[in-house]
Amino acid sequence: MASGGAEGAWAQRNATLETIQKVGRQGWQRESRYRLKGGVENLFFRYKGTLGDSLRACDYESQKREAMIGCNVMKRMAELGKPESQAIVGE
């Protein structure tokens, strides 16, 4: 339930609650791109769990390269985990 006269984060919470009341929870999730944000958070969780919480390189350019290599590793691992399927056509 939203309360009047809120400031800061509480005002943001109230605005969210009002939006949910107007368009429903699924409508709010579409408007706020809630599920996309959750997917990004999950991606970072998997990256950190697999490759570690911090970068090992010291300078910025090396850190960018290290992060790019890490992303490519994660992408390749995801590709290897996908099943290869084919449609079965009945005769």
Cα angle 23, 2, 21 (rounded to 5 degrees) comes to: 10
Predicted TM-score (pTM) of this structure: 0.58
Separation in Å, CA 84 to CA 3, 43, 52, 65: 53, 23, 30, 31
Hey, how many other C-beta atoms are within 10 angstroms of the C-beta on 34?
14
Q: Closest Cα to residue 64, out of 77, 55, 73? A: 55
Residues 51 and 70 sit within 8 Å (Cβ to Cβ): yes
**36-69 pLDDT per residue, tens:** 888 889 888 999 999 999 999 999 999 999 999 9
